[in-house]
């Protein structure tokens, strides 16, 4: 039975209320339920019961995964448009949480860290009908994301290729 998508992620955090505020303010998640020390959040356009679970671990330090310990590198959430990606960029900058912006060819990605140092990605995928051989070749040559140039190229409100797989384009 093949897996076909991630339904939700659960994170351990040091302060659940602080994390709820961060995910609400930066990514637009909303808290759908919770109990002391836990919260369950839903992404704005999601139909899932919840997309993110947060469980508080009192006295825990910030995540050092990938810097000094093993662990999850990041989760990636998709947005519909480059305009939405730009809005996320502004929110991450305002929180001091933007740690990278990369053009992966078929994916335009921002990288952020939450208050506990847990990294995540927010991305826009080039629609399948706009993927060219040049874009596929660029996938191997990651470069700094230039959101203004990408909006000029694709349009700020062009719907992204949600969950696009390009395996048929790669020989």
> pLDDT tens, 61-111?
888 988 899 988 999 999 999 999 999 999 999 999 999 999 999 999 999
Burial (0-12, 13-18, 19+ Cβ within 10 Å), 168: exposed
Give one word for 117, left, alpha or beta, with left for phi > 0 and alpha for psi -120 to 50.
left
CATH architecture of 73-164: 2-Layer Sandwich (3.30)
- Whole-number Å distance between alpha carbons of 24 and 27: 6
Predicted pLDDT at 171: 41
Give one word for 95, left, alpha or beta, with left for phi > 0 and alpha for psi -120 to 50.
alpha
Predicted pLDDT at 109: 96
Predicted pLDDT at 144: 96
Q: pTM for this one?
A: 0.90
Predicted pLDDT at 135: 86
- Whole-number Å distance between alpha carbons of 73 and 96: 19
Taking the domains of the chain in order of start, what are their residue ranges? 1-58, 73-164
In words, the CATH class of domain 1-58 is alpha beta
> Within the chain, which residues score under 70 in pLDDT?
1, 163-171
Predicted pLDDT at 1: 60
């Amino acid at each position: 039975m093949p897996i076909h998508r991630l339904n939700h992620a659960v994170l351990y955090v040091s302060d659940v209320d602080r994390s709820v505020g961060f995910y609400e303010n930066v990514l637009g998640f909303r808290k759908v339920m919770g109990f002391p020390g836990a919260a369950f959040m839903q992404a704005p356009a999601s139909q899932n019961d919840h997309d993110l679970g947060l469980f508080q671990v009192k006295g825990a330090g910030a995540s050092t995964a990938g810097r000094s310990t093993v662990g999850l590198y990041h989760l990636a959430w998709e947005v519909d448009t480059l305009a939405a990606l730009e809005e996320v960029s502004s929110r991450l900058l305002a929180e001091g949480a933007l740690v990278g912006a990369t053009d992966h060819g078929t994916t335009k990605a921002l990288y952020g860290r939450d208050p506990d140092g847990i990294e995540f990605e927010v991305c826009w995928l080039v629609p399948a009908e706009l993927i060219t051989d040049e874009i596929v070749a660029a996938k191997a040559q990651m470069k700094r994301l230039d959101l203004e140039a990408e909006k000029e190229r694709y349009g700020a409100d062009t719907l992204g290729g949600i969950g696009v797989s390009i395996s048929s384009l790669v020989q």
